Amino acid sequence: MNESVSTSIMAPSGSRRLSLSWETSLRTGNPDISYAGDFELRSKSRVTLAEHISNYGRIPTGLSLNMIIETLRVANLTGRGGARFPMYRKIDAVANARTKKAIYIVANGSESEPLSRKDSSLLRANPHLVLDGMSIIAEVLGAKAGYIYVKDKEAHVAINAALRERRDRGINEVRVSVVEAPPGYVSGQETSVVRRIERGPALPRFSTDRLATSGIKGAPTLLSNVETFANAALILRFGGDWYRSGGVGYDSGTRLLTISGSVARPGVYEVNPGVSVAALLREAGASSVRALLVGGYFGGWINVRDESDLNFSFDDHTLADRKLNIGAGIIGVLSKDTCPVVEAAGIVEYLSRQSAGQCGPCVFGLPEISTAFARIALSSNVEKGIAELRSVIPLVEHRGGCQHPDGVIGLVRSTVGAFGDEIKLHKSGNCSVVGVNHRSVLLPTPKMNSGMSSIGGK
Amino acid sequence: MRIVIDPTRCHGHGTCAALLEEYMELDKWHYPLVHNDKLRDVHLESAKRAVQLCPELAIKIVDN
């Protein structure tokens, strides 16, 4: 196992590893949580190449494929886009793809999930870390070209500036191009990314092959989230054991989270898994919490009946016990003046309009699901809504060319499963929120998007 | 052998469902709902015709 540190630089510790907040004064009192600030608030400039090298040391070179795979395996680095697939296995699959074609490497920073800001924050603040991860892995795989797929315009500018600095310094590495991600919820799906890089539309492609064997132009393609590459850059500098010194064993390192909704301090946080959810919400300034949406629009709910419902560890296993997955690192907070079922119905309706429009069951089924779900949310006819969901869901589930329809169904199921108490009220024509004024908290709005020139989309 | 339909190509013409009713039926929107994709040898010829006749080239027969 390689634990050698190639420079005399001190490895960063605690929850400040990705350096989103080194220069801001927005530190929290909790060593497991650091706050990178709100998008609108944060004016932190990009870390230059010189600052980057002084923070983290030089880019490691000459690592062997086996060394990289073994170090990432020890680190237990998993994909930060939501799928949680072990990074070392992805690299291994691409390296062993039986083909004579060139290999491509792609960092996905499109962040098409409207509640996420962490990828844009990382790219705006510290693009060199992402580029380092791509560079090291591309070198050992002999990749022909690299791409960063990104929607946020400021992130785009930051990456281009970083690429210029690297060229000027004469760093010899894979050629990386920035590809602009168009708006739309499905534009960030893996196969959409590949099609866009091939200069096609950013729409999902149906395939029975994995990208590791058949991705861009049918060639083996290593595609992962930008945060995964940034973490790889740190692990390959400071070692797998160092990485595991943060977090809990099975969920190691740090994780970037975007916390939004009814909180005083929304924005991007870097946290050590294992921190308590209650502490996390305290730092974000949440009070009178009614529900949490964990993992974004394809995620699931926690019904918060009292404070004790928030006393659990934030980590993959504990969330999995509750049938939850942090996805791309998203927590949406609803306070007691919002009905979570109504909020969910708004999201389902939004998602039904975000279908790529390619597959019949998605095109025709999602509007039916949305209509049925609205009967439950609006307390108009809960029984009819449930009956309609029972009949239409089997006609939609597992029938899409991408994860979109199944993601919507997952959210519907989680809502019905988590809020039995609320739905019971709706059956009698009522709702827990008196004087119903359903202003959506978690849906994209022009204000939410104002800090970002193009994210979110319509 | 397995029957695979690319849902992004399928436009619900229904030719495959007419030829392979042991394997699929049309849903209420007229798209094929496959309940068994394990193709048996006795139906191979029908499946090949379905592949040839699909106007969208959406249906395939794949190994395993």
Task: Write down the domain spans for chain B.
Answer: 2-62
The secondary element (H helix, E strand) that includes residue A155 is helix A153-168
Q: Do A360 and B30 touch (CB under 8 A)?
A: yes
B57 touching A, CB under 8 A?
no
pLDDT of residue A39: 65
Tokens 């469902």 belong to B17
- Joined together, the tokens standing for residue A190 give 């893996």
Domains, in order of start, for chain A: 38-247 (3.40.50.11540), 340-427 (1.20.1440.230)
Residues in chain A: 458
What residue in A sits closest to B33 (Cα-Cα)? Answer: A395
CA-based nearest distance A400→chain B, Å = 6
pLDDT of residue A1: 42
Among A327, A321, A343, smallest CA distance to A439 is for: A343
Q: Which residues in A lie closer than 8 A to residue B7 (C-beta atoms)?
A: 206, 358-362, 399-401
pLDDT in tens, chain A (458 residues): 444 444 467 888 777 788 775 454 456 778 888 888 776 545 457 899 999 999 999 999 889 999 999 999 999 999 999 888 999 999 999 999 988 889 999 999 999 999 999 999 999 999 999 999 999 999 999 999 999 999 999 999 999 999 999 999 999 999 999 999 999 999 999 999 999 999 999 999 999 899 999 999 999 999 999 999 999 999 999 999 999 988 887 888 999 999 999 999 999 999 999 999 999 999 999 999 999 999 999 999 999 999 999 999 999 999 999 999 999 999 999 999 999 999 999 999 999 999 999 999 999 999 999 999 999 999 999 999 999 999 999 999 999 999 999 999 999 999 999 999 999 999 999 999 865 566 788 998 654 443 333 322 22
Q: What part of A 31-70 touches B (C-beta under 8 Å)?
A: none
Contact A113, A296 (CB under 8 A): yes
Among A123, A169, A152, smallest CA distance to A19 is for: A123
A201 touching B, CB under 8 A?
no
pLDDT of residue A440: 85
Q: Which residues in A lie closer than 8 A to residue B27 (C-beta atoms)?
A: 361, 395
pLDDT of residue A6: 47
pLDDT of residue A27: 64
Q: Which of A209, A355, A359 to mutate to test the interface with B (most CBs of B within 10 A)?
A: A359
CA-based nearest distance A412→chain B, Å = 22
The secondary element (H helix, E strand) that includes residue A333 is strand A330-335
Give the right CATH number for B2-62 from 1.10.12.10, 1.10.287.130, 1.10.8.60, 3.30.70.20.
3.30.70.20
pLDDT digits (tens, 9 = 90+) for B7-62: 999 999 999 999 999 999 999 999 999 999 999 999 999 999 999 999 999 999 99
Buried b (16+ CB within 10 A) or exposed e, B30-55: ebbbbeeeebeeebeebbeebbeebe
A200 touching B, CB under 8 A?
no
pLDDT of residue A40: 57
Q: Do A365 and B29 touch (CB under 8 A)?
A: yes
Q: Which residues in B lie closer than 8 A to residue A203 (C-beta atoms)?
A: 8
Q: Do A401 and B6 touch (CB under 8 A)?
A: yes
